[in-house]
A and B are shown apart, each in its own frame.
Chain A
Amino acid sequence: VTALYVTTVGAAQPEALACIEAAVAEWFPFPVERLPALAMPESAYDPARGQHRSVEILKALVRAAPAGAVRLLGITEVDLAIPMLSFLFGQAQLDGPVALVSLCRLRQEFYGLPPDPALLRERAVKEVLHELGHTFGLTHCSDASCTMSLSTHISLVDAKGEHYCSRCGAHLARRFASLNGGQA
């Protein structure tokens, strides 16, 4: 089994990255490795909305994923959106190889508040676990404390936990076991 890779997309302040990698290593039974930063694809920017097209960045991540990567997680500072929705905290391919999380709306500064690095780290870990959960086939969880519950607002991100509930955890364990060829 090769590694679960983490990378930044576009210019990024990596302050939360170490914390994210530690959380990923805690929950996922794969070696976690950092890839060099990925350039932001030009096609991703939507000048009309002043936001970045999430789908384009996901495509770039798929292209950048090393052969045999378990998963590739991208962290970005830009504000993400898709045509239908005004913003996204992150996006992943359900049962697919890549996930993307934006720190933009996880920062207190976005809401006109003073920076809070500890809160940013906490929110980032929740969103990273959430998006990676999707890549292992999890859909939204009805348990509001589970990190897989749907957050459509920053207050909902803060309300949920930094962990998977027992059902989602059991689902992940089964998937890990089959990925590791029954070794886990």
Chain B
Amino acid sequence: MKNIWPILIVDDEEVMCESMAAWLREDGYRVDTAPDGRKAVELAQSVDYAIYFVDLKMPGGMDGIETMMEIRRRRPEASIIIITAYATVDTAIQAMKEGAQEYIVKPCNPQEISLLVSRILKLKKLQRENAILRKKLNRQYHHHDIVTKSPRMQEILNLARDIASLRSTVLITGESGTGKELVARAIHYSGDRAQRRFVTVSCAALTETLLESELFGYEKGAFTGAAAQTPGKFELADGGTIFLDEIGDISPKLQADLLRVLQERCFYRVGGNEEVRVDARVIAATNKNLAQLVSDGKFRDDLYYRLNVIEIRIPPLRERREDIPILAEHFVERIANELRKEIAGISEGALKVLMDYDWPGNVRELENAIERAIVVCRNGTLRECDFSLLERTASGREPWKAPDLPLAELERQAIIATLERKHGNVKEAAVSLGIDRSTLYDKLKRYSIPR
């Protein structure tokens, strides 16, 4: 698929434009033509052409060189090939000086043009790949790369920026795949600890004893196989940030140890007697309801309050569907490049499938769905059939069953649940329930729901 590289041919002679365009179209390119420089500049404003063929001699206001300069002013990256029937060394030199990529004399050997076009496009591909790789690098080492236009996510990002340089502990909650680690990185890399390390520990992946030595390190001989003194993640994160993922899964003993680090900022290595002091900012994350775990007695309340100094709750993707199209586009661009497939975009029908799906696995699931679609896609555009797996999963889920309750009780529960989801904001809850705010107040009173 070469139609992602549009080409513009500019010549006052219609036969020249059309016959050349036809020849390039047979090669699979998308080709537009313009009869003069003015029209060419106009077209260049709306389409980012990969290559411009511009005739040097054109009647009217603008000749080829002027046209080229105008295009370059708007599209500095444009590759321009100047065409002329009269090869003179002077014009060739002038064209190249003004930034023409190449200079050809018509009529030209088909082989020459074919090679020229593929050489330029090879360069364009490298440039695009370079831009994408650079973005990827930035994503890991800075932030601003969280793709969203949801107001709630904007608020979160603003908060992340505001608290970036504080030392306060942050608790990030949200379903799996919502981007908790990404937000944690955003906090770290936009704050004054950005130059120091960001250390990640997944607390769910390790057993209690392994996690303990992972976090706090150990002394030589602390246990069989402890051949040398080894620093833990807290020490590695000294001056930086330690990100404790899946914090809801840690054992009561480690909860106590962690509480001590948070309070005293010091700890003992496993098997050690010497206190180690660290200055590491703690960002914890969980997809569990920690408050619930506390009331169930499974999580220490004092640790919970220590962790929950600043809470960031990331909404699941289904509560910010406006982000689905831009996220999808973002993933298509990145993954298509990684897989070296040329994908022009997503069809309207496919986008509707994505918009209607509930995304229990959130952004990560969307990313995987796009990757799978790109792998199976056969015609350069992602269509509904490329997401067929998704539709099957969606229809395979259990249909909603009404609980055996009086209607009034159902309504009461719906209102309470919505209010909780909207953090007690009556206005938002009313919008979400599709009723007037005053109606909601009436109902709150009728069901004596506390606000």
Contacts and interface: CB of A to CB of B under 8 A. Distances in A.
Interface residues of B, number: 22
A182 B373 CA distance: 29
A121 to B, nearest CB: 23
Interface stretch (A5-13, A29-37, A91-99, A106-114): A91-99
Given A139-B27, A150-B27, A84 B108 contact: yes
A86 B109 contact: yes
Contact of B107 (A85, A139, A152): A85
Contact of B111 (A91, A92, A140, A152): A152
B158 interface: no
B13 A92 contact: no
A84 B113 contact: yes
Contact of B15 (A49, A55, A92, A93): A55
A49 B26 contact: no
A152 B28 contact: no
A6 B19 CA distance: 23
B9 to A, nearest CB: 9
B208 interface: no
A88 interface: yes
B417 interface: no
A53 B19 CA distance: 10
A20 B109 CA distance: 27
Interface in A68-111: 81-88, 91-94
Given A49-B107, A55-B15, A55-B18, A85 B26 contact: no
Nearest to A96: B22
Contacts of B227: none
A84 B22 contact: no
Contact of A82 (B2, B23, B109): B23
A50 to B, nearest CB: 12
A92 B27 CA distance: 12
Main SS of chain A's interface residues? mixed
Contacts of B16: 82-84
A83 B106 contact: yes
Interface residues of A, number: 22
Main SS of chain B's interface residues? helix
Contacts, number: 69
A134 interface: yes
A179 B22 CA distance: 24
A134 B13 CA distance: 25
A139 B28 contact: yes
Contacts of A140: 26-28
A83 B27 contact: no
B110 interface: yes
Interface in B94-116: 106-111, 113-114
B412 interface: no
A92 B109 CA distance: 19
Given A49-B107, A150-B114, A84 B20 contact: yes
Contacts of A81: 107
Interface string B13-44: 10110111011011110000000000000000
Nearest to B27: A140
A36 to B, nearest CB: 27
B23 A84 contact: yes
Contacts of B27: 139-140, 150
Residue from the set A85, A86, A91 with the largest chain B CB neighbour count within 10 Å: A85
A84 B19 contact: yes
A134 B108 CA distance: 22
Nearest to B85: A83
Contacts of B2: 139
B83 interface: yes
6 closest Cβ pairs, A-B complex: A82-B19, A139-B28, A152-B111, A83-B16, A152-B110, A86-B107
Interface of B: 2, 13, 15-16, 18-20, 22-23, 25-28, 83, 106-111, 113-114
Given A55-B18, A86-B107, A88-B23, 15 more contacts: A53-B15, A55-B19, A84-B106, A84-B107, A85-B20, A85-B108, A85-B110, A85-B113, A87-B110, A88-B110, A92-B26, A93-B22, A139-B2, A139-B25, A150-B27
10 contacts: A83-B13, A84-B23, A84-B113, A86-B108, A86-B109, A88-B110, A92-B26, A139-B28, A150-B114, A152-B110
